[in-house]
């Protein structure tokens, strides 16, 4: 069982419009709703790959109920979300069909009380029993301590459960102190954490700050990994055109899948890049194209070497 933590879950709403223009009214051609938040997205991909996965975090209000209803049909996924009195946020993506560009609007999330935070921590500790890996994902809702991921990572590691951390800003800066086994920033997050815009240097610097391994997402250029076993780059075989929404979450799912099945690092990275690319190519935002994934998996370009990084 893999556990994903999404403290700031969301109901993801996607509007498609013929062309997005500032200061204008728009006729929406298509509306989709799906359960969201980074860890929820990761869990849905893992379930589609055949893994058993449990989702925890917070959910409340009407949008929280809609989110949980949409998790029920997902095979292999267990809902262990903790109720809160506030209302789960919505994220709104507006897709310009002419250009393919996506504009994202993210609400802040409900304010979590001290009692609700304490209740979550008790549920989290119970869920760690029998878990093969845990992913701590996404932003922190108001009321949750900025060092929340530090404590959650330490709790998991004390229970012998490997931890992947995927967050940003102050939560990332503080979370590294929890010594996650895998840190998965994107290029901007990595630069903000280390002050360096040179990916190789920044990735090594991030690892020195406490992470066991750092896997940096470089967008269309794939992944850069610095690990105790060596360092590698993994890139899709060709330039991809599509909607990148959820591609980073699919990469996290690939890394977790490779971790729990004990794949060597190059194979983990190939799985992560292929899933990320297949998400860009999928017709629905945040899904992945299984046929594209299977076709791309053997074509991901891997360079690097075993040895101290």
Query: Which amino acids are annotated catalytic?
Result: 249
Measured CA to CA, the distance from residue 67 to residue 10 in angstroms comes to 7
Rg (CA), the chain: 18
Strand, helix or coil for residue 206 = helix
Instruction: Report the Cα 224 to chain-centroid distance in Å.
Output: 16
Cβ atoms of residues 143 and 171 within 8 Å: no
Cβ atoms of residues 9 and 58 within 8 Å: yes
Question: How many Cβ atoms are within 10 Å of 244's Cβ, its own excluded?
Answer: 17
Cβ-Cβ contacts under 8 Å for 181 (sequence gap 6 or more): 157, 162, 163, 164, 211, 212, 213, 259
Q: Is 96 exposed, middle or buried (0-12, 13-18, 19+ CB in 10 A)?
A: middle
Angle subtended by helix axes 38-48 and 247-260, to nearest 10? 60
Cβ atoms of residues 190 and 203 within 8 Å: yes
Q: Which two tokens stand for residue 117?
A: 């935070």
Angle subtended by helix axes 199-208 and 187-194, to nearest 10? 60
Cβ atoms of residues 8 and 140 within 8 Å: yes
Give me the residue label for tokens 């250029």.
221
How many helical (H) and strand (E) elements, i.e. helices and strands, does the chain have? 10, 15
Largest CA distance in the chain: 57
């Amino acid at each position: 069982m893999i556990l994903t933590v999404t403290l700031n879950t969301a109901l993801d709403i996607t509007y498609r419009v013929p062309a997005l223009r500032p200061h204008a009214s728009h006729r929406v051609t298509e509306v989709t709703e799906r359960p969201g938040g980074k860890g929820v997205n990761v869990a849905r991909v893992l379930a589609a790959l055949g893994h058993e996965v449990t989702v925890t975090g917070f959910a409340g209000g009407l949008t929280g109920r809609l989110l949980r209803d949409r998790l029920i049909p997902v095979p292999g996924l267990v809902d262990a979300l903790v109720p809160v009195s506030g209302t789960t946020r919505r994220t709104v993506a507006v897709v310009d069909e002419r250009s393919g560009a996506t504009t994202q609007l993210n609400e802040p999330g409900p304010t979590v009380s001290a009692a609700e935070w304490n209740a979550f921590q008790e549920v989290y500790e119970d869920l760690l029993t029998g878990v093969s890996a845990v992913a701590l994902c996404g932003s922190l809702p108001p009321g949750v301590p900025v060092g929340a991921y530090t404590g959650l990572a330490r709790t998991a590691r004390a229970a012998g459960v490997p931890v992947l951390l995927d967050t940003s800003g102050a939560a990332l800066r503080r979370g590294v102190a929890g010594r996650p086994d895998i840190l998965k920033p994107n290029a901007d997050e990595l630069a903000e954490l280390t002050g360096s815009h040179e990916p190789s240097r920044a990735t090594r610097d991030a690892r020195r700050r406490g992470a066991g391994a750092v896997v940096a997402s470089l967008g269309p250029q794939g992944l850069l990994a610095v690990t105790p076993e060596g360092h590698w780059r993994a890139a899709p075989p060709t330039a991809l055109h599509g909607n990148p929404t959820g591609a980073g979450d699919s990469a996290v799912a690939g890394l977790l899948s490779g971790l729990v099945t004990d794949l060597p690092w190059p194979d983990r990275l190939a799985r992560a890049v292929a899933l990320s690319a297949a998400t860009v190519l999928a017709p629905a935002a945040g899904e992945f194209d299984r046929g594209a994934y299977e076709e791309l998996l053997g074509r991901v370009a891997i360079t690097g070497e075993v040895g101290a990084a």
